[in-house]
A and B are shown apart, each in its own frame.
Chain A
């Protein structure tokens, strides 16, 4: 992975490299560097498969992190590209023309995180949710408990116990 990183470094402006395992590493990339880098990895380095495209909400830093995980089947290795986006009005270029499957991931991210992908086919269609009327639910400032209490009626006599305390009471009732 280190050799690949030094090779890529000569061609692209790259951020830091995090080596998770021998065959798995992550590189932080600037937003505008992503597309040429993806094309290079796909066509020259054998990373032909887009494993997943997902997002992380770094609310405190005011950023979204997009992770593009690519797989090189022949070389049995994975590489993850991290792109940081500003959190408010986050938009990213679509990569559906490089991997058509990306359109589905982008549609999901559009719905669950509210990250815009202009020009991605069907990106504004409903994906999992139907008739959603709040902020995207995977954003960390979305309060799922509050939403569920406001929208769904709860059975009043529901009791909750801490599992550890409960089992302690059950197994060792003398120990107070």
Chain B
């Protein structure tokens, strides 16, 4: 357990001493809950249409694939014309692109970022490393299947996929959202224990909250 996550007594600037338990005070450790669909199908359809046009990507590059997102942000490929934009914090994002290989060390940060994103949230696995390990299939510190640890809505194959492939992927993602099939957040909530067990199998020093919300 990290020093800053341990329960401790802190002396404030006014000399008053108080106890802090970061896991309880700073994070809500309650497991995530399933977000039910709107009570009327047509309303949910409108919601899904609206969601598909508001894809906000978390600006978190996990591997070499992150290099493919730079040209997308710039005029050459300009992903913004498709209603896609990058955000600096998970609280403002709803799409997490796992861009390439994911080491167990980065997986920790990816899990925490994913859990802090608001429902509905989507995950795209970019590159063959997220599918079956890719060229890192025999590596001692990268995971081989992303869908064991996070619910994945869409994979974009390639090593690396070109920015055009990502643009096509965004369009595909929109179709999936409009069809109401992008239920990653709910899937994660339903199978929370299974995902946690898988995550803890590869993260040997679990020094973070059970659920970082």
Contacts and interface: CB of A to CB of B under 8 A. Distances in A.
Contacts of B131: 155
A149 to B, nearest CB: 8
Given A154-B132, A155-B131, A129 B137 contact: no
Interface residues of A, number: 19
B140 interface: yes
Interface string B94-107: 00000000001100
B205 A154 contact: no
A89 interface: no
Contacts of A130: 104-105, 108, 203-205
B51 to A, nearest CB: 29
B155 to A, nearest CB: 11
A137 B145 contact: no
A164 B141 CA distance: 28
B137 A154 contact: yes
Contact of B145 (A142, A145, A154): A154
B63 to A, nearest CB: 15
Interface in A54-97: none
B133 A129 contact: no
A148 B132 CA distance: 12
A172 interface: no
A148 B205 contact: no
Contact of A155 (B138, B140, B144, B204): B144
Contacts of A153: 144-145, 148, 198
A176 interface: no
B133 A154 contact: yes
B143 interface: yes
Contacts of B144: 148, 152-155
Interface string B181-213: 000000000000000001001111100000000
A148 B145 contact: no
Interface residues of B, number: 22
Contact of B140 (A131, A147, A154, A158): A147
A133 B205 CA distance: 9
A132 B104 CA distance: 10
A158 B205 CA distance: 29
Interface in A140-162: 142, 144-145, 147-148, 151-155, 158
Contact of A152 (B108, B143, B204, B205): B143
Given A128-B105, A154-B145, A155-B131, A133 B137 contact: no
A173 B98 CA distance: 38
Contacts of A155: 131-133, 144-145
Interface string B139-159: 111111100100000000000
Nearest to A131: B205
Contacts of B145: 152-155
A129 B202 CA distance: 12
Interface of B: 104-105, 108, 131-133, 137-145, 148, 198, 201-205
Interface of A: 128-134, 137, 142, 144-145, 147-148, 151-155, 158
